[in-house]
Structure formats: structure tokens, C-alpha cells
């Protein structure tokens, strides 16, 4: 969908010079690929994010929220909805509560949040210290590593909920609510928000922590970091490309299919870990997508299993690809 000039005029009337057009999105993604945003707005706080999203819902304009950009592949044609760059990053620790907690806006870097907790001697987020995405994306996708995940830490999230118009004489409404962890119906790298995108936006979240010491927490982070360095490749990537199927590993299947180290254009399936697809410095999004299809086809032909993406595809992609993401990403 291309935004019509009338839509851009409405956005500009509402937000003035805050509206940016034709912004290249490669600079905002960890894979360093992606075409332009037809329209882009930057949200600098949770209240600012709420105001922007409410206005877009009222204008009935589709949007995509881009957080850390670490779990997405943006097409070379870019994103033709309104892109909202989430830079809401306020963080507040409650060290003296039992248990201690941290409240943060959804644009906060999740890995940095874990390291801040460690500096205060607060445990519970050691598993997240190497995750580059935003807190909002982590809440959305039930991010996890090393036996920990968002489902185990989330206490409550502040969300913005939209009920669209169903009848001609009805009005849509937007409401800010607090959701406890059970409302998210978490599963492996999934939530009800990810399974049904578009109607809910995460504004902020409160996470459960534990009391410890800086030395103990940092030692655990260092151990996890060393494992990451041994098993995960450096370079521009999106993190894990595919979800691990039950009882197996996507990387093992891709390697067994003979594609470890395979290249297309400027992209490569990592020789270190086959579930990581690397931009070697001159890749475009289509190069990475071609490797995705190569890996899926080879694994399906040899093992009868179709790998499911862990990342989200944003922008214009073939109609037979997985559902294109919208709403909120990492």
C-alpha cells in the first residue's frame, strides 16, 4: 500500500515538521539493509508514542513501529506504511521493593537494561544482556536466551488498545490498559500480540528482578557473553533467523542440508552458526531473502519440515512468504 498524498497531508497537518519522508531504513536495522520509509515519525517518550499511535488510528492509517531493528528484515522497496521510530527510553529502578523491579519505556534497549540492573546488583536479566533489541519487541515476541525469557520476568505491561469501527454509526476507541503477564498468552518466541498484530501497542513494562551483588550478576553475564562469542557470529545480522522446531535446532537442520557457509550476493549463512544470516557489507534485503528460501527449501526437501521464521518481514515481499509484520518489532 502506497500512502496517498492526502494521507501525508493529514499527517503533516497533525505533526508538522516532525514528519520525515524518504528516510532510508538500513541505518535503523541491525542487518543494515532496507529501503526507505515513505513517512517516518519519531516517538521520544511513551506519552509521545501514545499520541502518535492514537492519531494514526484515528486517521485510519497503517503503521509499523521500529524499535531496535534487530529482529526484522525490511524489504529493498522499504515500508509504505507510516514508520514510527520508537525512541521512548526512560528507565526507573525500584531497588528497595520486594522483589525489586524495573519499569522502562518500550523503546529502551533491552540488553542495556539488563546491564544497568547488573550494575545495581540486581539479578534476573542476565540472560538478556546480549539481546540488542528494544524492550517493547522483547515483550511482543517473548524474547529469551540461556533458559530465561520475558514470560519469566514480566509483571505488567502498559499497552495501548484499539477497537476499530465495526459499523458505520460506531466510533473506534483507544484505551490505555495494564496487562499482567497471563494476558499475553506467551508461547515459544510468541505472544497473542505477535499472533494477532495491529490492535495493541506496548508503551512500557515492569519486570521482576532479584537481589544479588554486582559481582555475582556480572560473572553470570560474562559467562553467557563468552558462550555467545564462541557460538554466534559477529557482523550485521538479525539474530536467529528461524525458530527451533520441537526437539531440534534450525541451525543443525540447515547445516545438515549442506548450506552452512552458503552465499547469495552480499549475504552469507554463517559458517559458525547456520541459523545466523550475515550481511558481509554489501548485501541487500533480497540477498538475505533468497538465502531464507534456499534454507527452507533444502530443509523441507531433505527432512519434510518447513522452518518458521523468528524474524519479521517488513515491507513488500512475495505473496507466498510468511505474513508480513506490522505493529511493533524489536
Label the pairing between strands 72-74 and 312-314: parallel
Residues ≥6 apart with Cβ < 8 Å to 221 = 114, 115, 118, 126, 129
Whose grid coordinates read 540461556? Answer: 146
Note the pTM of the prediction, 2 decimals. Answer: 0.90
Map grid coordinates 524499535 to a residue: 67
pLDDT digits (tens, 9 = 90+) for 219-228: 999 999 999 9
Tell me: the pLDDT tens digits for 250-270?
Answer: 999 999 999 999 999 999 999
Q: Which residues of 114-123 are buried (b: 16+ CB within 10 A; e: fewer)?
A: bbbbbebbbb
Q: Phi/psi zone of residue 195: left (φ > 0), alpha (ψ -120 to 50 degrees), beta?
A: alpha
How far, CA to CA in Å, does 9 sit from each of 16, 17, 42, 197?
Answer: 9, 12, 17, 26
The Cα–Cα gap between 184 and 154 comes to 10
Does residue 195 or residue 101 have the better pLDDT?
A: 101
At 66 the three-state DSSP class reads: strand
pLDDT in tens, 14-67: 999 999 999 999 999 999 999 999 999 999 999 999 999 999 999 989 999 999
CA distance 157 to 77: 33
Give residue 292's Cα distance to chain centre. Answer: 18
Maximal CA-CA distance, the chain: 61
Distances (CA, A) of 171 to 162, 163, 165, 175: 11, 9, 6, 13
Peptide bond preceding 154 in cis form (omega within 30 of 0): no
Active site residues: 189, 240, 310
Which domains are present in the chain?
A: 5-86 (3.30.43.10), 91-218 (3.30.465.10), 240-310 (3.90.78.10)
**Mean pLDDT, the chain, whole residue set:** 92
Could you give the percent of the chain with pLDDT greater than 90? 82
How far lies 219's CA from each of 82, 126, 223, 307, in Å? 42, 9, 6, 35
C-alpha of 263 from chain center: 25
Q: State residue 196's pLDDT score.
A: 84
Contact 28, 69 (CB under 8 A): yes
Amino acid at each position: 500500500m502506497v500512502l496517498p498524498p492526502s494521507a501525508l497531508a493529514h499527517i503533516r497537518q497533525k505533526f508538522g515538521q516532525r514528519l520525515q519522508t524518504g528516510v532510508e531504513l538500513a541505518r535503523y536495522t541491525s542487518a543494515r539493509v532496507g529501503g526507505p520509509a515513505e513517512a517516518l515519525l519519531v516517538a521520544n517518550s511513551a506519552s509521545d508514542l501514545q499520541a502518535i499511535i492514537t492519531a494514526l488510528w484515528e486517521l485510519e492509517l497503517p503503521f509499523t513501529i521500529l524499535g531496535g531493528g534487530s529482529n526484522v528484515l525490511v524489504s529493498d522497496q522499504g515500508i509504505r506504511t507510516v514508520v514510527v521510530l520508537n525512541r521512548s527510553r526512560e528507565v526507573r529502578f525500584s531497588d528497595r521493593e520486594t522483589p525489586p523491579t524495573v519499569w522502562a519505556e518500550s523503546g529502551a534497549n533491552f540488553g542495556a537494561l539488563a546491564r544497568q540492573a547488573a550494575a545495581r546488583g540486581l539479578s534476573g536479566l542476565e540472560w538478556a544482556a546480549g539481546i540488542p533489541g528494544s524492550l517493547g519487541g522483547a515483550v511482543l515476541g517473548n524474547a529469551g536466551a540461556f533458559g530465561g525469557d520475558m514470560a519469566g520476568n514480566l509483571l505488567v505491561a502498559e499497552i495501548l488498545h484499539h477497537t476499530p469501527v465495526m459499523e458505520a454509526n460506531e466510533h473506534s476507541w483507544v484505551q490505555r490498559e495494564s496487562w499482567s503477564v497471563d494476558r499475553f498468552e506467551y508461547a515459544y518466541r510468541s505472544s497473542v500480540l505477535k499472533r494477532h498484530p495491529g490492535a495493541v501497542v506496548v508503551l512500557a513494562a515492569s519486570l521482576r528482578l532479584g537481589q544479588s551483588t554486582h559481582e555475582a550478576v556480572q560473572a553470570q553475564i560474562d559467562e553467557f557473553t563468552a558462550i555467545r562469542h564462541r557460538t554466534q557470529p559477529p557482523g550485521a545480522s538479525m539474530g536467529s533467523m528461524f525458530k527451533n522446531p520441537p526437539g531440534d535446532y534450525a541451525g543443525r537442520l540447515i547445516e545438515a542440508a549442506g548450506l552452512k557457509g552458503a552465499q547469495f550476493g552480499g549475504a552469507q549463512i554463517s559458517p559458525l552458526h547456520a541459523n545466523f544470516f550475515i550481511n558481509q557489507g554489501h548485501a541487500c534485503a533480497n540477498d538475505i531473502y533468497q538465502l531464507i528460501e534456499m534454507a527452507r527449501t533444502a530443509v523441507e526437501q531433505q527432512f519434510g519440515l518447513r522452518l518458521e521464521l523468528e524474524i519479521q518481514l517488513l515491507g513488500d515481499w512475495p505473496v507466498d512468504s510468511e505474513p508480513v509484520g506490522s505493529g511493533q518489532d524489536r
